Structure 1
Amino acid sequence: MKTQVISYRYNREQIKPGILHIGVGNFHRAHEEFFTNRLLEDPTQQNWGICGAMLLPGDEYLYKALKKQANEYTLTVCGRDGNDEAYRIGSLVELIWGVEDPEGVITKIADKDIRIITLTITEGGYNIEKASGEFMLDDEKVKHDLQQPHSPVTTFGFIAEGLRRRKAAGNGPVTILSCDNLQHNGNTARKAFTSFIKAQDEELAAWVNENITFPNSMVDRITPATRPDDIIRLNAKNGTDDAAPVYCEDFIQWVIEDNFIAGRPAWENVGAEFTQDVTAYENMKLSLLNASHTLLSYPSFLSGYRKVDDAMHDERIAKFVRTFMDVDITPYVPAPGNTDLELYKQTLIERFGNRSVSDQIARLCFDGLSKFPVYVMPNLIKMIAGHADLTRVAYLIAAYRHYLKFKTDDSGVAFDVAEPWMNADDEKLINSDDAVDFLGLSAFRSTDLKAAGEFVPLYLKMTNAISEQGAMAVLESIL
């Protein structure tokens, strides 16, 4: 049965762009555009259309596909109950490709009608060095933009040149709002842009200090990449001929610090939430969603599963994850705002098991060295201090060691490990036959796990058991 496409109910010709968005990818089109598309039906909000800016050569296909469709596209929202809804999105009222028209992007940044610049440029796009937390001024493209400010190639160069013209024209302040999925993304954006601008133009840096705000925001919506066969499938399902469709899960969340220097849309009227401090919301997401993803990833992968939804339809894994949420996390995570924590946890279980937006477990296993310090360790430190039951986390860390050291699952199937930040010291600790050495891994540096008296014997027991019996057999014994 075909899904009926729900179209927007506003006249696009009356919509004026008040937002410039840099990085028009699938997540942006399933998230900020979805909220804004709904908001534009309010006649008082029609100065908040979105002008998209794409800056990369690799954006050519999507740019041309969208241009052919007057920048409209379909978004299929995949229900956890198996029922999908499809929407025609009209909020992307303009689109500029910086490779073809760099001047167009710069002019738009300087435009007085643009009062918010939003970003989805990925975590790596902020050019912050992981170890030091400093902006990398020695990057080749950054160096080019510092030396040739009027012909930029980076996001930083484009925004600096646009702001320089904005300042010269007296076009007023603007908010830069990161919508990337990283902790305190506004602070990261501030660090990156102010570091670049200070190195390029001291006078502009002083103006930025007074005229730009960088709110933090927390974003959440699972949005897979759209492969060629997905395009065929979605068009057949929706009765459409869309060269650039997107699909996503039915859950959506956007929590934003209310710090907009030049005004903002009333996104709260369509489901976003404004707050003075996003920290508690980030803590909840990191401790429940991200930590649970890490918890299920290595044991599931070692047990032979390759897709998250398949693993979560195994009652043993679903019970393991839910117990972790209830017993190991909930006592340490205060519910922010009006959040119903029980409902949030139940929704997470359903989201992980959503067959329509299947995720690869290998993606969850990727770069564990960066994930453990942020998702697992802060809570584990509290658990150790509180003499809590450490069984599930000890099992997770033992499974992680087995995954890194032996690179084979319970059935003997070999796999590759992807740890881009692994150093020689880490490799030595992983290869050691003394399992205690593994607890000195860089991922666990925030505390001395070897000195955690209640943790070490449990972990060693789990390590031996996984080697002898396999990951799933040990999981069953825990349950």
Structure 2
Amino acid sequence: MNTISYHYDAKKITSGILHIGVGNFHRAHQQFYTNILLESEDQRQWGICGVCLLPSDEKIVRNLRAQNLEYSLTVCGRNGTDEVHQIGSLRELIWGIEDPEAVINKIADPSIRIITLTITEGGYNLDKETGEFMTKDEKIQQDLKNTGIPSTVFGFVAEGLRRRKAKNGEGITILSCDNLQHNGNTAKRAFTTFIEAQDKDLAVWVKDHVTFPNSMVDRITPAVSPEDVERLNRKSGMTDLAPVYCEDFAQWVIEDHFAAGRPAWERAGVEFTDDVTAFENMKLSLLNASHTLLSYPSFLMGYRRVDEAMEDQNVVKFVRNFMDTDITPLVPAPANTDLEEYKKTLIERFANHSVSDQVSRLCFDGISKFPVYIIPNLITMIKAGMDVTRVTFLMASYKHYLKYKTDDRGQSYETAEPWLTAEDQKLIDAEDPAAFLDLSAFKGADVKGSVKFVELYRDFAEKIKNQGAGPVLKSIIK
């Protein structure tokens, strides 16, 4: 195994970035790029100060502090060859539960010019139906009063910016690194709504001094179990309390809209652009949609790991036909992107044994995934009179998955749909399989307006019930 150590003097690195949410993805993605960049002598003001705000963060804080904030990142190659990177770009680590004042003062520190975030989609506190910031949340209400120690990320950032404004007035960029569409717009809506409700003077300053670029992030980074810690250390020969592992593919595209300068991340492979929309559409329509496409049929066929499903050539052909025939005509490739190479790489990534994903994770919360990954392109396909065979089969598979809860091998399973409504459940349980097409996830698609679609869906629903998902999938492979 190849071990790659950094060659800069970590003690001479200063923090120019404050990152909130020091989880596995951040440590495999942003830290990875920054660690490479810090080899450049003129970039050593861009070290990262990590901030953790949750009680549950205590373990990672203790483990990282015990080893001078350094850790190992194992990059698992699709060819079976792994590389271990020693990461030294995390230069400070503050736990807000232990020292909230240190968090606030660091945000106000003029040396910090970028705040980055990985706080998950739910961390932005936006209503799932309306997209509006939920000011009535109990902790939000407490922080809006601004009478004590903040308890939310919004309270901490607002207080830090207030002190920054009073201290030096220098601008700053808030850069979301969460895996959601137009994440910068999401962050802007959340933080500016909170600040407007708490401090109108600060809101005026934020409008003129804070930017919120959108970014697109991509790297499969599994959770690390205790068994993984032992396995990774055994392979690397290290004693690391907080190792991380990931796939060998990484992508980060950022809108170049920074208020107070930025690292030259392009030297480490980051792409800068005026608009991330084309990159987001490519990822949503090819990577995320393909994950959803393979998930329910594969699960019904009895597969429980994605790499295991990708050993079935029928599944591979099914996914590749979807990419080539259904999606490629609808997704313009971003500048300097080879779409054929991108699709080839996706198939290889899905099949990577070293970072095997759970099919059940891909099946989780389909109610939220279909409206984002599948339905927009399906509407276009129906209007254009395109072949909808594969997407129709997917929707019939999803219905079978939710209703019958038994796979082709006779194994029973539980489903996880946290946003499923009582009305949705009635539609799933209805005797008429076409009732399922009124599910909340399909709102706005009007799929029942296409007689051809409904007939094909009914046919697939009946065949999956009688024959199983595997034989039906095989029958539609070109």
With the shorter chain as reference, the TM-score category is over 0.9
- Which region of structure 1 is more displaced relative to structure 2, 334-343 or 140-149? 140-149
Q: TM-score, normalised by structure 1?
A: 0.99
Counterpart in the other structure of 1:268: 266
**1:5-44 correspondence to structure 2 within 5 Å:** 5-44=3-42
Counterpart in the other structure of 1:57: 55
Report the secondary structure of 2:400's partner residue: helix
Picking from 181, 184, 190, the partner of 2:188 is: 190
Post-superposition offset of 1:453: 2.2
CA distance in 1, matches of 2:419, 2:334: 33
Q: Report if aligned partners of 1:373, 1:446 keep a CA contact under 8 Å in 2.
A: no
Query: Which amino acid in the other structure matches residue 297 of structure 2?
Result: P
RMSD: 0.7
Q: TM-score, normalised by structure 2?
A: 0.99
Q: Deviations over 1:181-215 (max 9, x none)?
A: 00000000000000111111111111111110000
Post-superposition offset of 1:14: 1.3
Q: Deviations over 1:84-139 (max 9, x none)?
A: 00000000011100000111100100000000000000000000001011101111
CA distance in 1, matches of 2:131, 2:162: 26
Q: Deviations over 1:411-459 (max 9, x none)?
A: 2211111111111111111110111111111111022111112211111
CA distance in 2, matches of 1:187, 1:10: 35
Counterpart in the other structure of 2:172: 174
Alignment partner of 1:375 is 2:373: yes
Q: Report if aligned partners of 1:284, 1:335 keep a CA contact under 8 Å in 2.
A: yes
Counterpart in the other structure of 2:125: 127
Structure 2 segments unaligned to the other structure (5+ residues): none
Picking from 212, 221, 228, the partner of 1:214 is: 212
Identity among equivalent positions (%) equals 65
Report the secondary structure of 1:131's partner residue: coil
Q: Deviations over 1:260-286 (max 9, x none)?
A: 010000111110000000111000000
Query: Which amino acid in the other structure matches residue 311 of structure 1?
Result: A
Post-superposition offset of 1:148: 3.0
Counterpart in the other structure of 1:232: 230
Post-superposition offset of 1:467: 0.6
Counterpart in the other structure of 2:309: 311
Query: Which amino acid in the other structure matches residue 25 of structure 2?
Result: F
Report the secondary structure of 2:293's partner residue: helix
CA distance in 2, matches of 1:101, 1:353: 44
Q: Report if aligned partners of 1:52, 1:92 keep a CA contact under 8 Å in 2.
A: yes
Q: Report if aligned partners of 2:2, 2:82 keep a CA contact under 8 Å in 1.
A: no
**1:373-452 correspondence to structure 2 within 5 Å:** 373-452=371-450
CA distance in 2, matches of 1:28, 1:276: 23
Q: Report if aligned partners of 2:146, 2:198 keep a CA contact under 8 Å in 1.
A: no
Report the secondary structure of 1:287's partner residue: helix
Query: Which amino acid in the other structure matches residue 123 of structure 1?
Result: E
CA distance in 2, matches of 1:168, 1:48: 24
Counterpart in the other structure of 2:465: 467
CA distance in 1, matches of 2:445, 2:294: 23
Post-superposition offset of 1:149: 4.7
Aligned residues: 477
Report the secondary structure of 2:93's partner residue: strand
Counterpart in the other structure of 2:156: 158
Post-superposition offset of 1:382: 1.0
Q: Deviations over 1:164-185 (max 9, x none)?
A: 0000002400000000000000
Q: Deviations over 1:18-55 (max 9, x none)?
A: 00000000000000000000000101111100000000
**1:291-302 correspondence to structure 2 within 5 Å:** 291-302=289-300
Report the secondary structure of 1:412's partner residue: coil
CA distance in 1, matches of 2:138, 2:97: 18
Post-superposition offset of 1:5: 2.0
Counterpart in the other structure of 1:286: 284
Report the secondary structure of 2:451's partner residue: coil
CA distance in 2, matches of 1:56, 1:139: 17
CA distance in 1, matches of 2:389, 2:150: 53
Q: Report if aligned partners of 1:22, 1:53 keep a CA contact under 8 Å in 2.
A: yes
CA distance in 2, matches of 1:355, 1:92: 29
CA distance in 2, matches of 1:426, 1:61: 40
Query: Which amino acid in the other structure matches residue 399 of structure 1?
Result: S
Counterpart in the other structure of 1:115: 113
Counterpart in the other structure of 1:456: 454
Post-superposition offset of 1:4: 3.5
Query: Which amino acid in the other structure matches residue 34 of structure 2?
Result: T
Query: Which amino acid in the other structure matches residue 161 of structure 1?
Result: E
CA distance in 2, matches of 1:148, 1:286: 39
Q: Report if aligned partners of 2:8, 2:39 keep a CA contact under 8 Å in 1.
A: yes
Post-superposition offset of 1:141: 1.1
CA distance in 2, matches of 1:468, 1:242: 51
Counterpart in the other structure of 1:252: 250
CA distance in 2, matches of 1:324, 1:442: 24
Counterpart in the other structure of 2:344: 346
Post-superposition offset of 1:150: 4.2
Q: Deviations over 1:311-360 (max 9, x none)?
A: 01111101110111000100000000111000000000000000000111
